[in-house]
């Protein structure tokens, strides 16, 4: 394992980024799962309250906010596993250098988009810090801050992909090596 790690500093960087990425992914999956549970629970409460009592306006809002969080957190995980930003049918038709160029172009466009989310997401969230939702009185920042937070996670996973490409390896190979015994 030590010999494998000493091959190149780029590989070492990839190992460290994957270690951190694994923790970040676990955090995103946990938080996203909690968001989905809140989403489903709020919808259930809203449906039951409409049938038997008076509708709970804040339940609709809470479900919407939780859904937004789940989407932005799930997008980071999707980027990490290459499941969101390229049409598989088109990618499957490409071979060799054309496929590599398409991957690089897709990575670059996605990176620009994610940087835009971060750059404009923080000011947008700060504008909503003093604004409240009408039905429930919940501060809107609770739903808007997920845009830059999710963007930062997406950016990390894009940088992880770049480190893996520079090291000439992939996520699965690094994770298998880490399971075998770490980087020492």
By the 8 A CB rule, do 160 and 126 touch? no
The whole-angstrom separation of Cα 125 and Cα 145 is: 5
pLDDT class of 121 with cuts at 50, 70, 90: very high
pLDDT for 89 equals 65
pLDDT for 86 equals 58
**Considering the entire predicted model, what is its pTM?**
0.82
The whole-angstrom separation of Cα 143 and Cα 125 is: 8
Return the number of other C-beta atoms located less than 10 Å from residue 110's C-beta. 19
Rounded to the nearest integer, the mean pLDDT of the chain is 85
Tokens coding 116: 């835009």
pLDDT class of 122 with cuts at 50, 70, 90: very high
The whole-angstrom separation of Cα 38 and Cα 23 is: 23
């Amino acid at each position: 394992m030590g010999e494998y790690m000493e091959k190149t500093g780029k590989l070492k960087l990839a190992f460290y980024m994957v270690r951190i990425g694994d923790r970040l992914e676990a955090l995103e999956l946990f938080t996203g799962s909690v968001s989905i549970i809140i989403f489903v629970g709020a919808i259930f409460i809203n449906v039951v309250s409409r049938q038997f009592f008076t509708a709970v306006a804040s339940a609709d809002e809470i479900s919407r906010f939780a859904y937004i969080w789940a989407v932005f957190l799930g997008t980071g995980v999707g980027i990490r596993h290459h499941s969101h930003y390229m049409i598989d049918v088109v990618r499957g038709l490409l071979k060799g250098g054309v496929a590599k160029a398409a991957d690089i172009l897709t990575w670059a466009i996605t990176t620009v988009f994610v940087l835009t989310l971060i750059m404009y997401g923080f000011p947008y969230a700060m504008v909503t810090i003093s604004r409240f939702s009408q039905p429930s009185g919940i501060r809107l920042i609770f739903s808007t801050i997920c845009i830059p937070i999710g963007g930062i996670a997406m950016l990390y996973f894009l940088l992880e992909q770049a480190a893996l490409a520079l090291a000439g390896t992939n996520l699965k190979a690094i994770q298998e090596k880490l399971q075998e015994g770490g980087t020492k």
